[in-house]
Structure 1
């Protein structure tokens, strides 16, 4: 497995946490906090929007990224056996 993937997952989870707290700050601040470039931040935001279908937008009033719907990012595999046991 690429060493890049775990780092990306960690960054995506951190972005998700800060979005849920409505505390990302402006893009440059968030990129600095995550120790990545602004262009990498925009790539991560696009992955969250287009691949993971997270309803993210930037709120100019709050100066923070926010979710348009309440929720939480989930990256991983769900075992169907656990789901079947609930039925």
Structure 2
């Protein structure tokens, strides 16, 4: 369940940055239960999603440079064989990938 723990940390990180309650990198890493190095990995994840996150010396914490909304959610859903085939582009990978992870963008489905 490490994957779910990572999602929960990203949700908390997003919330704290949005509310401007992160504190120093050391304080934030401790609050998330990770090391400082791992904190910057999570920050890079947010940047990969287009979130412009920066450290403010004035506020002594991380802030979003632009007011974007990031919604992070996890959904588990049983898929029938037709849906699995559509997600896999016609291939059945049941033996290799019992779980399917995908992201919805505004334009398309990303697997």
TM-score by length of 1: 0.79
Name which structure has the greater RCO, CA cutoff 8 Å, separation 6+: 1
Which structure's CA Rg is the greater one? 2
Offset, 1:29: 0.3
Tell me the distance in 1 between the aligned counterparts of 2:14 and 2:72.
Answer: 11
> What secondary structure is seen at the aligned counterpart in 1 of 2:30?
helix
- Unaligned ranges ≥5, structure 2: 74-102, 107-111
Gaps of 5+ in 1: 81-87
Tell whether the 8 Å contact from 1:16 to 1:72 is kept in structure 2 after alignment: no
- Is residue 77 of structure 2 the alignment partner of residue 54 of structure 1? no
2:20 equivalent in structure 1: 22
Cα distance between partner residues in 2 of 1:16 and 1:23: 10
Structure 1 residue ranges (4+ consecutive) displaced by more than 2 angstroms after TM superposition: 75-78
Compute the RMSD of aligned alpha carbons. Answer: 1.6
SS in 2 for 1:66: strand
